[in-house]
Amino acid sequence: MLHLRLARIAGAYYLVVAIFAGFAHIVRENVYVADDAVATAANVVSNADLVRLSFVADLVQATFALFLVLALSHLLQHVNRNVARAMVLFVVLQVGITCLNLVHQLAALLVATEPSYTSVFAADESDALVLLLMDMQHSGFLVAQIFFGLWLFPLGWLAYQSGMFPRPLGVILMVATAAYLIDVPLQFLAPGFAAAVSPIVVVPLVTIAEVSMVGYLLIKGARTPADPKPPVDTNAPVGIAPANHPLVTP
């Protein structure tokens, strides 16, 4: 069936996004050392190939994120076209911010490894600039995280309303939005508190929500949607049932 095939295609796209985004994020988290320019620059130099691969991986996942949201929008737009459009818009913003933000990571790599830059800056200047660029990349990722969260709300709402997915799955996707939106300001305003809370609350909640959606799409696909009610011709004369009215027989 068409909806089942489309759901599994969306699941495959979602899996690609998860794998490549996860790889890119893990590399950055192991390279970036907040408030330590020497360690960060040394990590970038010693892991230059991995940093470059993570850059490409993020470009791949961003591209597949667009494929994913278009597939899901096509699958669920019958529930509410405006909500489906909002879901697409949030992902487009997320992808745009992510791709532009990757320039900071690439710049840090160039400053740390390219002779045309390393020969110009003193060692401490080069290290400080690498840290600044990785700080900017880290902050930009947090900004993009707003839209990582926002797109899950219309997805969860559409999944809940469609009947094509278990309703608890729709609920947990919407709750994950709140987790993202709470985490972002905390990361900027109370980073110490966020660092303590995020790994035990936000990360597990978001992981459960998104892994559950990926798993359901790949394994189950989607339930058969209920047949939509036939449209009623509102321009028909009063007192006369329109030809497509369910009470009118052919």
Task: Output the furthest CA–CA distance in the chain (Å, rounded).
Answer: 87
Neighbours of 31 (CB within 10 A): 25
- Number of Cα atoms under 13 Å in the Cβ half of residue 132: 8
Look at the block and give the residue holding tokens 């219309």.
Answer: 154
Q: How far apart are CA 16 and CA 53, in angstroms?
A: 15
pLDDT in tens, 236-247: 455 555 555 444
pLDDT in tens, 186-236: 999 999 898 888 888 888 999 999 999 999 999 998 888 765 544 444 454
Q: pLDDT at residue 249 above 50?
A: no
pLDDT in tens, 69-122: 999 999 999 999 999 999 999 999 999 999 999 999 999 999 999 988 888 888
Mean pLDDT of 174-181: 94
pLDDT of res. 250: 45
Question: Is 164:206 a contact under the CB 8 Å cutoff?
Answer: no
Q: How far apart are CA 237 and CA 250, in angstroms?
A: 19
Q: pLDDT at residue 34 above 70?
A: yes
Alpha helices (H) along 47-122: 48-76, 81-113, 115-118
pTM, full prediction: 0.85
Mean pLDDT of 149-164: 95
pLDDT of res. 231: 42
